[in-house]
Amino acid sequence: MCSTDCVLLLSSVKDFLGQMFCTLGEIIGSTGSRLERTLSGIPGKKCGSIIFTAEELSNCRDIATMQLCANKLDKKDFFGKSDPFLVFYRSNEDGTFTICHKTEVIKNNLNPVWQPFTIPVRALCNGDYDRTVKVDVYDWDRDGSHDFIGEFTTSYRELSRGQSQFNVYEVLNHKKKGKKKKYVNSGTVTLLSFKVDSECTFVDFIRGGTQLNFTVAIDFTASNGNPSQPTSLHYMSPYQMNAYAMALKAVGEIIQDYDSDKLFPAYGFGAKLPPDGKISHAFPLVSI
């Protein structure tokens, strides 16, 4: 949800054309995320109107699901085979890399098949489909000193091709390659499957017709303390709002733009109501 203020000033080279104020929430919360408002700002003159529409960038909410396997990885354990796992890194604009995913460890296997995993596209490549994705292959050790088997690089665009000859990667250990003339690789990693789904967001639900209704219930039990004392949550200070009022304002100012009927029922519970003084645990505040 968003309560960011939007201020629009329209002007040509010489002439001021008009202005309007709204929140981003008002635009998104309007029917079809379409808001029409009248421009103002020039006394005695009609400035026309303006129409806003809101749209969410799709690549910010895509989720990729992929599965990989490896073949003929290097043996790292003296008494057994390797326990391989993959570490994915997203490249940053400054040339550094950030870990964005680790697979599970496959014990004692040089030809592992990892479980499918899901990762947000923004976490994998920050929305840049051609950004380098580096993948390290390690042999797991109990003490945490995992042995490096090798690495390869790819990109979201390459992965999105799915299972093909283009998505079979040589795992290379450059230190080992520099020492052995006959070194070819430390195994291969193959992409078995790749698919992309779009995650439904709050905006999707609003645009799809979801209606929200904001209802409030306030605690009037004795646990709040004496309302005449500053320590009470119901204390009405002449200088600042109490805790209940601040919470209602903070949440309500955002929710109001998405409320379907713009009516906000408010109830109380735990108070003795006139005329008989009986305790009620559900009463509209207008009846007090």
Q: In this predicted model, what pLDDT tens digit does every residue of 86-113 receive, in sequence order?
A: 999 999 888 889 999 999 999 999 999 9
Give the pLDDT mean for 214-226: 88
Contacts of residue 204, Cβ cutoff 8 Å, sequence gap at least 6: 56
Residue 158 has phi, psi (to 5 degrees) of: -65, -45
Q: What gap in Å lies between CA 147 and CA 84, rounded to an integer?
A: 9
Q: pTM for the complete prediction?
A: 0.60
Q: Tell me, what's the pLDDT at 87?
A: 98
Among 51-65, 132-146, 233-247, which is the least confidently predicted range? 51-65
Q: Domains along the chain?
A: 5-56 (no CATH), 60-198 (2.60.40.150), 211-287 (no CATH)
Q: What gap in Å lies between CA 230 and CA 238, rounded to an integer?
A: 11
**228-257 residue pLDDT tens:** 888 888 888 889 998 888 888 888 888 888
Give the pLDDT mean for 112-140: 95
Tokens of residue 29, six digits: 């919360």
Q: Residue 8: beta bridge partners?
A: 20
Q: What gap in Å lies between CA 188 and CA 72, rounded to an integer?
A: 7
Q: What gap in Å lies between CA 252 and CA 214, rounded to an integer?
A: 8
What is the residue type of 74?
D
pLDDT band at 13 (very low <50, low <70, confident <90, very high): very low
